[in-house]
Amino acid sequence: MKTKTLQELAEHVGGRLVGDPNILIREASTLDKAGCGEITFLSNPKYEPLVKKTKASAVIVQKEMECTAAQLIVEDPYYAFMQIVVLLHGHREHPKVGISPAAHIAQTAQLGPDCQVSQGVTISEHVKIGKNCYFYPGVFVGPKVQIGDDCIFYPNAVIYDGTIIGNRVIVQSNASIGQDGFGFATHKGQHHKIPQIGRVILEDDVEIGAGCAIERGTLDNTVIGKGSKIGDLVAIGHGTKIGPCCLLVPQVGIAGSAVIGHHVVMGGQVGVVGHIRVGNMVKIAAKAGVINDVPDEATIGGTPAIDVNKAKRAYALIEFLPEMRKKLKEIERRLNDLSKENGQTTP
Of 187, 238, 262, 275, catalytic: 238
- 57 with 37: CB under 8 angstroms? yes
- 238 with 223: CB under 8 angstroms? no
Q: What is the DSSP letter of 182?
A: S
> Domain 4-89 is in which class?
alpha beta
**238 has catalytic annotation:** yes
CA proximity to 110, closest of 95, 129, 123: 129
Domain 104-309: assigned CATH number: 2.160.10.10
For the chain, how many residues are written?
347
Q: On the CB side of 321, how many CA atoms lie within 13 Å of its CA?
A: 7
* pLDDT per position as a tens digit, 233-265: 999 999 999 999 999 999 999 999 999 999 999
To the question of pTM greater than 0.85 for the whole model, the response is yes
State how far Cα 129 lies from the chain centre. Answer: 26
The phi-psi region of residue 279 (left if phi > 0; otherwise alpha if psi is between -120 and 50; otherwise beta) is: beta
Q: Residues near 244 by Cβ (< 8 Å), separated by ≥ 6? A: 203, 225, 226, 227, 228, 262, 263
Pairing verdict, β 190-193 and 229-230: unpaired
- 279 with 295: CB under 8 angstroms? yes
Q: Over the chain, what is the mean pLDDT?
A: 95
- Rounded Cα gap, residues 177 and 136, in angstroms: 16
- Rounded Cα gap, residues 250 and 233, in angstroms: 6
User: What is the mean pLDDT of the segment spanning 126-140?
Assistant: 98
* pLDDT per position as a tens digit, 75-102: 999 999 999 999 999 999 999 999 999 9
* pLDDT per position as a tens digit, 283-337: 999 999 999 999 999 999 999 999 999 999 988 888 898 999 999 999 999 988 8
Helices (H), 122-268: none
* pLDDT per position as a tens digit, 178-227: 999 999 999 999 999 999 999 999 999 999 999 999 999 999 999 999 99
Angle at CA 231, nearest 5°, toward 280 and 244?
Answer: 30
Q: On the CB side of 159, how many CA atoms lie within 13 Å of its CA?
A: 35
